[in-house]
Amino acid sequence: MHQSAPTRYVLTLILVSAFSACSGEKTNTLSAKQVGTTEASQSASAKQVGTAEVSQSAATGCDASLWDHVYSPKRLQQLVSCLSVTGTIGESDVDEDGDQHFLLKLDPGQDTLVNKRNTKKKGGDIVLEIVCANPTTMKKPKAACAGYTNPVPMAAVGAHVRATGTYVLDTHNGWVEIHPVSKLERM
């Protein structure tokens, strides 16, 4: 398939939804065809995303109502509506918008879930964001979180976790994230 310049395809993702061996569930995969990036703007966009074969656990593990509390949701391009990943928390910070921002070092076998921007700017980690986890003084995020308290528990740096949520491309930054996180479970 030919693409007009300046668009080029940079990777084909095999998205792996990893589940604990203790749960007895098999690992399921999702193929995302031709994920590209526009060189001129340096913002990635999914050109075609295949259909998911996601376990029942992951499919029921996401809370779509969290999107009502995402600040500026148009910046997030949904790639997979519900995906679980496993790994170790490497960093935890409070964003200005009140979200809790984590970097997750993925367990082996999930490296195709990150893109070049994650590799370059986030050390190969995937970004996790728990919305409305902290207070904010910013007007628009404050409105998105008004009257809502997020029940998703925080995890400490170094914790081994399973994060379940929407797999998105942050078009402002170019990296992929699980945002919003619906579940963060210690393993």
Predicted confidence at residue 60, as pLDDT, reads: 65
Closest CA to 13 of 114, 108, 112: 112
39-82 residue pLDDT tens: 222 233 332 222 233 333 445 689 999 999 999 999 999 999 99
The full 3-state SS of 83-130, as one line of letters, equals EEEEEEEEEEEECCCCCEEEEEEECCCCHHHCCHHHHHHHCCCEEEEE
Question: What percent of the chain clears pLDDT 90, i.e. is strictly above it?
Answer: 64
Predicted confidence at residue 35, as pLDDT, reads: 34
Domains, in order of start, for the chain: 58-186 (2.40.50.140)
Decide if pLDDT at 33 tops 70: no
